[in-house]
């Protein structure tokens, strides 16, 4: 997708360290971390919003969440982590290529959910 920062990262046009990669998604570090450890899980397919995904594409999301749970200890998140998906302006979404924030490396007491 043209003018999409995450598509540019996936294509290698913007360099980034990949902490994990398989056929469906990559994991990179967030450039402006909001926790001691802040990764982004980015699907290789460009979806703007959850509401755009078809039934078969939704399968990608379940796969990615499950894979995150498997690789979490290798990312230094053995003590736990929080997953966040911002959707739309009210949530503060800034990059409209669906992604999952993976936050941890500390007690996640801000805010208390």
The catalytic residue positions are 99
| Side-chain-side CA neighbours of residue 62 (13 Å) | 7
- Determine if 62 is a binding residue for ligand AMP (CB under 6 A): no
CB atoms < 10 A from the CB of 41, how many? Answer: 24
Pick what 81 binds: Zn ion, ligand AMP, none; C-beta below 5 to 8 Å, kind-dependent: none
Q: How far is the CB of 84 from ligand AMP (least distance, A)?
A: 7
- The Cα–Cα gap between 75 and 70 comes to 10
Among 49, 50, 65, 95, binds ligand AMP (CB under 6 A): 95
Q: How far apart are CB 101 and ligand AMP at their closest, in Å?
A: 6
């Amino acid at each position: 997708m043209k003018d999409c920062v995450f598509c540019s990262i996936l294509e290698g046009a913007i360099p980034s360290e990949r902490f994990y990669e398989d056929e469906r998604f990559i994991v990179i570090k967030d450039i402006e971390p909001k926790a001691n450890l802040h990764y982004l899980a980015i699907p290789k397919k460009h979806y703007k919003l959850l509401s755009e995904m078809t039934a078969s594409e939704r399968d990608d999301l379940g796969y990615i969440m499950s894979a995150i749970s498997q690789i979490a200890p290798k990312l230094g998140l053995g003590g736990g982590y929080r997953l966040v998906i911002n959707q739309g302006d009210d949530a503060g979404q800034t990059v409209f290529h669906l992604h999952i924030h993976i936050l941890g490396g500390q007690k996640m007491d801000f805010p208390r959910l």
